[in-house]
Structure 1
Amino acid sequence: MTATGGTPVPPPREGRALGAWTLRGLTAAGLLLSADIHLVLFVEGYRDIEVVGPLFALNAAAGLLLGLLVLVWRHWLPLLGAIGFGALTLAAFYLSTTVGFFGVNETVGGTQQVLAAVSEWVAVVAGTLALVVERRRSRPAGS
């Protein structure tokens, strides 16, 4: 079977595999960017803030670990971890911009804040889509 341009159309399973790997790559990119931003903020002074400082260090380490796991371990657990990581990090950020989070009241306008929020949304959305695509791919044909 060929597309209108005469190029072979990959079988559905191959297309889904490529889609799943692309989504895993996007998920990992979101996680790693979030980890990098949290590490930079930790080093630039957040380390001195009680409770939040250690949470930024934990966030950086967890983002790095999950980002690597999403790429090297083809299992649903790293994807679920990525979704949870992104959602919880977003929740903490939104709390800090509204009512405060452990005494920290953040603003939304900074470049790092916007990049971090976007990267965490990418981790949540791409991780969820990767789970869906991989679940469909693992089902036998015709079901």
Structure 2
Amino acid sequence: MAWLRGPAATSAVLRALVSASVMLSAVIHLELWADGMKDTRVGTAFMINAVAGLVIGVLLLVWRHWFPLFLAAGFGASTLGAFLLSTTSSGFMGVHEQWQGFPIWACAIAEALAIVLSVWAFLVERGHPASVA
């Protein structure tokens, strides 16, 4: 078995971290959906978020292409953006959130990591296409 080295290894680690970040957000959204968000105006969005996050997380690991990185960055940006809107005085789709509790902070950190690590992985892969040394 050949081990990855250099940029290919960096890319593999970054993709695993992005996948973990996206999947963490997805699982927390699924749990929040089951704990009562399904009965709100954003319930469907929480379920879509959960399913999309799990699919993107798997794609990052099995498809070495720039597109899953793009999806992960978009997932993180849109999900974090929606949460930030929900913390404003006008809220988002009737939801008014606060920066309180483990699920809120875990999702915010995971989504920010998904954005930053996706861009980093893209730059590593763009500069050095993955190869086995």
TM-score by length of 1: 0.86
1:91 aligns with 2:91: no
Q: Which of 50, 53, 63 is the matching residue for 2:43?
A: 53
Count of matched residue positions in the alignment of Structure 1 and Structure 2: 126
2:13 alignment partner in structure 1: 22
1:70 alignment partner in structure 2: 60
Question: Larger relative contact order (C-alpha < 8 A, sep ≥ 6)?
Answer: 2
TM-score by length of 2: 0.92
Q: Which of 1, 9, 26 is the matching residue for 1:35?
A: 26
1:125 alignment partner in structure 2: 116
- Cα deviation code 1:36-66 (max 9, x no counterpart): 000000000000002x000000000000000
**Stretches of 4+ aligned residues off by more than 2 angstroms:** none
- 1:109 Cα deviation from its structure 2 partner: 1.3
AA at the equivalent of 1:101: F
AA at the equivalent of 2:47: A
% same residue: 48
- Cα deviation code 1:47-93 (max 9, x no counterpart): 0002x000000000000000000000000000000000000001000
Is the contact between residue 76 and residue 115 of structure 2 (CA under 8 Å) also seen in structure 1? yes
1:138 alignment partner in structure 2: 129
In our comparison, the structure showing a higher alpha carbon Rg is 1
Long gaps (5+) in structure 2: none
AA at the equivalent of 1:14: R
Long gaps (5+) in structure 1: 1-12
